[in-house]
Amino acid sequence: MSRASYGPNAGVEDFVGRVNELAPDDVRRVLETAEEAAVDEVRTRSEPVVRPQLSMGKRRRMRRSLVSLVALVLIAPSTPADAQTVSWTHQFGTARSDRAWDVVGVGTDVYVVGETDGHLGGPTFGGYDGFLRRYSAGGALVWTAHIGAEGTDLAFSVAADATGVYVVGQTDTDPSDEDPRDGFLAKYDTDGAQLWFQTIATRRDDLALGVVADGAGVYVVGSTIGRLSGQERIGTWDAFLVRFDQDGNQEWATQFGTPGIDFAYSNAVTPFGIAISGRTSGELEGGRRDGGEDAFAALFDTDGNQIWIRGYGTRATDFGFGVTSDASGIYVSGQTYGHFVGQEHVGDGFYSDSYVRKLSPDDGTRVWVRQFGTPRSDDSAAVAVHGDEVVVGGTVAGTFPGQTRAGKGDAYVRSFLAETGADGWAFQFGSPGQDGVLSIAVDGDVCYVVGDTHDAFAGETSSGGTDAFVTSIALETTGA
């Protein structure tokens, strides 16, 4: 999530990088060392893991590319690309750096959160500010609220219920002192007025990365280097789940993880409890450590009791970013540098693939998994349910079958049949430059996509630097 530079695929890689930037120097060195080792491991293992039958040299690389192209043909979407259409896009920002991290659609309203290094409207607080924007379902901007204090403030996730809108992120209330940065949860009314602001704080650095609401409580996930009240510190970074009431009173907190590094990136209210998706460098109960870093999924009840937790991955490095559910199971999405059992690695060399995985709500075991991508680097930042389909969204550096590449890195949404994981449709879009998708949300038959761009979408104007964007896509149920 490094906002200053881009790798082969912008988007969720930026999210991981941004988390690393927010870590103190000593922990950042641990994270960077772990990630460098993971990349080295992927480089050295990619040939035997991905295609052990290939010989060394140029002929092997040519054959690998050919196999990747054949795999892309075999997993081509089964429905026309024009089944989905862009209703509107709003690109916005300042002359500096701006990004949209999350979105939620609630009937006639759309709420977008992110970060800005400038002034988007309303009072500013200095340094990076978080922001919350309200749009109409038709794409008209209603209002903008800056979030923060004097230091660096970032808004990562948004949720809403009948009483208001909730935003989580990280705040640095006084950049002149050495106090650690805290996670926060803030509530706004539908007119953009802040109702209350609560920190999630230990004596060390804390990050609040995901928020959901179920009408009775508000659930926040994130990670900490410290120890939450009543909890024990387990590793370098621990994951956490905290519940607040609608008035901002903390009701309980649970801290979990391994002796290594654990990040809880997102959560979802499901019929089975609160589902969580993240990443771990250790070995979680319920699953062995498979590679350099693994993804994990967990399920808690609404009283904070762990129902199950399960690590999963490949022999390389894997991340779990998005999570959602329907009545039949839990779905997680993310990014892998290896290949899951029964799946092909599509990306050339050490480029990454996207994946979506269905889990049993009983114990987190795999129901099905689909790994997909192009010969270049791809990721899946978020996942949502639309009827009998699972919709994933992310960033693609190549070209999906039947699609047209718009720029250096494009946004995409893609569907799979919820019951079996069979291919549905794919829709790739973007600017002539580099675009990164950071989240999606489905509300009715509309999919909202947010992220950042280094160029300009059709009909839009670049503000300079990196702009944020929100796009509304009309979904057509295709019966895939």
Position 190 scores a pLDDT of 97
Asked if residue 4 belongs to a domain, the reply is: no
Mean pLDDT of each 10-residue bin along the chain, 480 residues long:
32 55 48 44 34 32 35 43 84 93 96 93 79 97 90 93 97 69 95 96 91 97 93 93 98 96 97 97 73 91 97 93 98 95 90 97 97 95 97 96 93 97 96 96 97 96 94 77
User: Rounded to two decimals, what is the model's pTM?
Assistant: 0.85
| Domain assignment of residue 409, given as a range | 12-474
Q: What is the pLDDT of residues 231-282, one digit of tens each?
A: 899 999 999 999 999 999 999 999 999 999 999 999 999 999 999 999 999 9
Position 191 scores a pLDDT of 97
Please tell me the total count of domains within the chain: 1
Position 289 scores a pLDDT of 63
Q: What is the pLDDT of residues 3-33, one digit of tens each?
A: 222 233 445 555 555 555 555 444 444 444 4
The closest of 15, 2, 9 to 320, measured between CA atoms, is: 15
- Domain containing residue 269: CATH number: 2.130.10.10
The three state secondary structure string of the chain is: CCCCCCCCCCCHHHHHHHHHHHCCHHHHHHHHHHHHHHHHHHHHHHHHHHCCCCCCCHHHHHHHHHHHHHHHHHCCCCCCHHHCEEEEEEEECCCCEEEEEEEEEECCEEEEEEEECCCCCCCCCCCCEEEEEEEECCCCEEEEEEECCCCCCEEEEEEEECCEEEEEEEECCCCCCCCCCEEEEEEECCCCCEEEEEEECCCCCEEEEEEEECCCCEEEEEEECCCCCCCCCCCCEEEEEEEECCCCCEEEEEEECCCCEEEEEEEEEECCEEEEEEEECCCCCCCCCCCCEEEEEEEECCCCCEEEEEEECCCCEEEEEEEEEECCEEEEEEEECCCCCCCCCCCCCCCCEEEEEEECCCCCCEEEEEEECCCCCEEEEEEEEECCEEEEEEEECCCCCCCCCCCCEEEEEEEEECCCCCEEEEEEECCCCEEEEEEEEEECCEEEEEEEECCCCCCCCCCCCEEEEEEEEECCCCCC
Asked if residue 16 belongs to a domain, the reply is: yes
Q: What is the pLDDT of residues 136-195, one digit of tens each?
A: 999 999 999 999 877 789 999 999 999 999 999 999 866 655 667 899 999 999 999 999
Asked if residue 457 belongs to a domain, the reply is: yes
Asked if residue 347 belongs to a domain, the reply is: yes
